[in-house]
């Protein structure tokens, strides 16, 4: 009976309406994050990726549109934050695995690459990356970039929102809630992350003499590193 009550409490710890409402927003964010990869595929005329990306984008946009009419939650609990964060880091690599199927990698290898990217691990199963399409190379580094930013921001927002230490660390202005302070903190992190990324891309562009190579290395390096568009990485 104790286990049954505990399981029932766990179920009611989250509100499905909140998950649907916030999930719709996350779906829209993921759809927007897919657009740069689609643009790269069009720019380099790798048109075989266009249809898979459209197939991924349509359900995300439809779900986002369907959940727009749900009432906006005034507060997201820690449990709901955990569920949303886990869902984002599980569904994102699955969606991009399907979108990058034309790369020629086996499903398991491609899923490994996408999970490694979004979790900023940087491990790869590809022996000769210079033979891979630019859409694949860009998407992998791009995912590592926004995965790194997401882990930092989401961890601070959901894991530490009730912590007195974080309230003191963020120096929340008197008369304002911790949510406001966290929003300010997240924006500061984004601005720092963005400027460091631009600097890394410029340095990479200067060193390699190629903007695309500099961009891929900049996205990867500013997170945790590991991914490269060259077989010899930074050597040579």
Task: Kindly report, residue by residue over 21-35, the tens digit of the pLDDT.
Answer: 888 888 888 999 999
Residue 148 has pLDDT above 50, yes or no: yes
Return the minimum-mean-pLDDT range out of 55-69, 127-141, 183-197: 183-197
pLDDT digits (tens, 9 = 90+) for 32-75: 999 999 999 999 999 999 999 999 999 999 998 888 888 777 77
Q: What is the mean pLDDT of residues 81-87?
A: 80
Of residues 107 and 86, the one with the higher pLDDT is 107
Q: What is the pLDDT, as a whole number, of residue 168?
A: 47
Radius of gyration of the chain (CA): 20
Q: What is the pLDDT, as a whole number, of residue 158?
A: 56
Q: What is the pLDDT, as a whole number, of residue 98?
A: 95
Angle value at C-alpha 147, between 207 and 90, nearest 5 degrees: 140
Residue 181 has pLDDT above 70, yes or no: no
- How confident is residue 235, by pLDDT bands cut at 50, 70 and 90? low
Residue 188 has pLDDT above 70, yes or no: yes
Q: What is the pLDDT, as a whole number, of residue 120?
A: 87
CA–CA dist 49, 186 (Å, integer): 33
Per-residue tokens: 157: 């927002």
CB 146 within 8 A of CB 26: no
Per-residue tokens: 77: 């609990």
Residue 210 has pLDDT above 70, yes or no: yes
pTM for the whole structure: 0.81
pLDDT digits (tens, 9 = 90+) for 104-123: 999 999 999 999 999 888 88
């Amino acid at each position: 009976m104790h286990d049954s009550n505990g399981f029932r409490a766990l179920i009611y710890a989250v509100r499905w309406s909140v998950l649907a409402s916030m999930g719709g927003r996350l779906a829209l964010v993921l759809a927007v994050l897919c657009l740069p990869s689609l643009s790269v595929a069009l720019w380099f005329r790798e048109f075989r990726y266009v249809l898979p990306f459209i197939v991924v984008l349509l359900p995300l946009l439809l779900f986002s549109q369907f959940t727009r009419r749900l009432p906006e939650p005034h507060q997201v609990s820690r449990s709901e934050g955990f569920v949303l964060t886990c869902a984002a880091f599980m569904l994102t690599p699955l969606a991009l695995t399907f979108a990058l199927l034309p790369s020629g990698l086996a499903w398991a290898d491609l899923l490994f690459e996408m999970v490694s990217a979004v979790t900023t691990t940087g491990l790869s199963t590809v022996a000769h990356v210079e033979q891979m399409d630019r859409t694949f190379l860009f998407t992998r580094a791009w995912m590592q970039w926004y995965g790194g930013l997401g882990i930092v921001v989401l961890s601070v927002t959901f894991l530490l929102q009730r912590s007195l230490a974080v309230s003191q660390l963020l120096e929340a202005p008197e008369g304002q809630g911790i949510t406001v302070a966290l929003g300010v903190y997240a924006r500061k992190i984004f601005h720092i992350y963005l400027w460091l990324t631009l600097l890394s891309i410029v340095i990479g562009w200067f060193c390699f003499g190629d903007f695309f190579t500099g961009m891929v290395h900049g996205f990867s390096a500013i997170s945790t590193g590991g991914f490269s568009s060259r077989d010899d990485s930074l050597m040579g």
